[in-house]
Amino acid sequence: MKISFTGDVSLTGKLKEAITNDSLKIDNEILEIFKNSDFNIVNLEGPSTNKEVVFDKHIQVKNPLASIEYLKDKGVNIFNLANNHTFDAGLEGFIECKNEIKKNKCQYFGAGENIDEASKVLFIENKNIKIGLVGVGSPGGKKNASNNDCGVFSDMYMSLIEKQIKYSSDNSDWTIINFHNGTEFNFYPVKYIQNKLKQFIDFGANIVISHHPHVPQGIQNYKNGAIFYSLGNFLFDLDSHKNKKNTDLSLLTTLNFEKHNYSYTYVLTRYTTNDLSIKIVKDKKILTWYKRINERTKSKNINTYAFFDLVRSIYFNLILYKKKWANCLIFLTFFLRPIAFNTGNQREILRGFLDYLKLGFIFKFLKGKNSLSKYNEY
């Protein structure tokens, strides 16, 4: 059985019109991957609905009602809804979205009108292989399901997650967790996220597919399982993402299951707004960049890379507004360096830090905010 997972999908911005007139150009190689998979799963950020947004928060996302039919026509047949935008249009928006999914003979998991529906294991079966899917999100910025209220299946219910994983493992050949959390726009998972996702494997899950950082992160083998820390953005057109590095990239991942073993392959995809297209990445510079990310994720220094990457991300946001605070942060980072250095290979760690920070970028900043374009180079 083959299952393909895309990165985050939100048919917003220019994509709204593109799905109406079918002007989005999808690479034939991508469509071929969908065609050759038995199931294609997307993380749908925001409900597909005509209802108005009601959730009061910084960024609100919803998709046109026609999004479900459009994605189904391209090969998508399962929607993960365990994310922080599923209830941006309230319960009515969620119900309209799930009814549209059912109307198009597709399936969903990870959210519901109560905790029983949200936590329900979605079983899929093909070629005598059965797989259980569990969608989980973290508290914060999202509506969490409870006994009497709608929401997503939250990881504040760890005992229930363990129970559902065990139930899936007892009734299927493989269990996949679709998790939604992480630090946005960072290329390495912080230690808290690493531990959380490893705990799912400890509970009995075989694969963890994660979303939310909006950029591709690395893959890590743990025990007999695999953790995909972030698949990035597959189709996502928000203005707030456009000044962030590599938010146009996604890890289109295909899992190939047999009865007693599995394997996986992936390709990097890139969505561009200029010509409204999504293609498989061939650029060696980008491929080398991701190879480096992946190698460092597997290394013993991952926590230090994650620490400095978090500093880089905070610095990048600060300099857009408060240059003095940004410079103080750099000083503080080197002051705290011994805390982060939990391995002996300090030279490699420092080199990695300078690589992400890009000192040339700092000097360019002194000339003004408009010099930030260099930061978006690979």
Query: DSSP letters of 284-304?
Result: HHHHHHHHHHHHHHHSTTHHH
* pLDDT band at residue 370 under the 50/70/90 scheme: very low
Q: Note the pLDDT of residue 54.
A: 75
Domain with residue 204: its CATH number is 3.60.21.10
Question: End of a domain among 257, 282, 298?
Answer: 298
Q: Is the pLDDT higher at 333 or at 32? A: 32
pLDDT of residue 273: 87
pLDDT in the model for residue 373: 36
Q: Show Cβ contacts of residue 344 under 8 Å, excluding neighbours closer than 6 positions.
A: none
The pLDDT of 95-104, averaged and rounded, is: 98
Mean pLDDT of 193-219: 96
Q: Which of 271, 298, 325 is the last residue of a domain?
A: 298
Residues 230 and 110 in one domain: yes
pLDDT score, position 243: 73
Strand ranges (E), the chain: 2-10, 25-26, 39-44, 78-80, 107-109, 111-112, 122-126, 129-137, 151-152, 174-180, 207-211, 219-222, 225-228, 233-236, 249-257, 262-272, 277-280
Length of the chain equals: 378
CB neighbourhood size of 303 (10 A): 16
Please check the confidence at residue 290 and state whether its pLDDT lies above 90.
yes
Residues 88 and 182 in one domain: yes
Higher model confidence: residue 33 or residue 352?
33
Each residue's pLDDT tens digit, 51-97: 987 766 667 889 999 999 999 999 999 999 999 999 999 999 999 99
Same domain assignment for residues 293 and 306? no
Same-domain pairing of 178 and 266: yes
CA quadruple 277, 10, 8, 36: dihedral sign: negative
pLDDT of 352 above 50: no
Q: How confident is the model at residue 267 (pLDDT cuts 50, 70, 90)?
A: very high
Number of domains in the chain: 2
Contact 118, 160 (CB under 8 A): no
Would you say residue 232 has pLDDT above 90?
A: yes
**211 and 331 housed in the same domain:** no
> ∠34-254-228 over CA atoms, to 5°?
135
Q: Are residues 211 and 269 in the same domain?
A: yes
The span from the CA of 247 to the CA of 179, in Å, is: 19
pTM of structure = 0.86
Q: What average pLDDT does the segment 264-291 reach?
A: 95
Claim to verify: residue 268 and residue 334 sit in the same structural domain: no
**Mean pLDDT, the chain, as a whole number?**
85
Cβ–Cβ < 8 Å for 8, 214: yes
The partner residues of 10 in beta bridges, in order of sequence, read 236
Please compute Rg for the chain using Cα positions.
20
Angle separating helix axes 346-357 and 302-319, nearest 10 degrees? 30
Q: Are residues 29 and 74 located together in one domain of the fold?
A: yes
pLDDT given for residue 57 in this prediction: 60
* Residue among 98, 45, 101 at smallest CA distance from 70: 101
Whether residues 193 and 232 share a domain: the answer is yes
Q: Give residue-wise pLDDT tens across range 291-329.
A: 999 999 999 889 888 877 877 776 666 555 555 555 555
Q: Which residues are 256's β-sheet partners?
A: 2, 263
Same domain, 316 and 213: no
State how beta strands 207-211 and 174-180 pair: parallel
Average pLDDT of the segment spanning 352-368: 46
Q: Give residue 317's pLDDT.
A: 61
Q: Which residues contact 233 (CB under 8 A, 6 or more apart)?
A: 7, 8, 214, 215, 241, 247, 248, 249, 250, 271
Domain with 260 in it:
2-298
Quick: pLDDT tens for 119-167: 999 999 999 999 999 999 986 657 899 999 999 999 999 999 999 999 9
Residues 283 and 313 in one domain: no
Give the confidence band of 338 by pLDDT, cuts at 50, 70, 90.
very low
pLDDT at residue 369 is higher than 80:
no
How far is residue 108's CA from residue 334's CA, in Å, rounded to a whole number? 46
Q: Which of 275, 298, 321 is a domain's end point?
A: 298
* 101 shares a domain with 150: yes
Report the percent of the chain where pLDDT is more than 70: 80
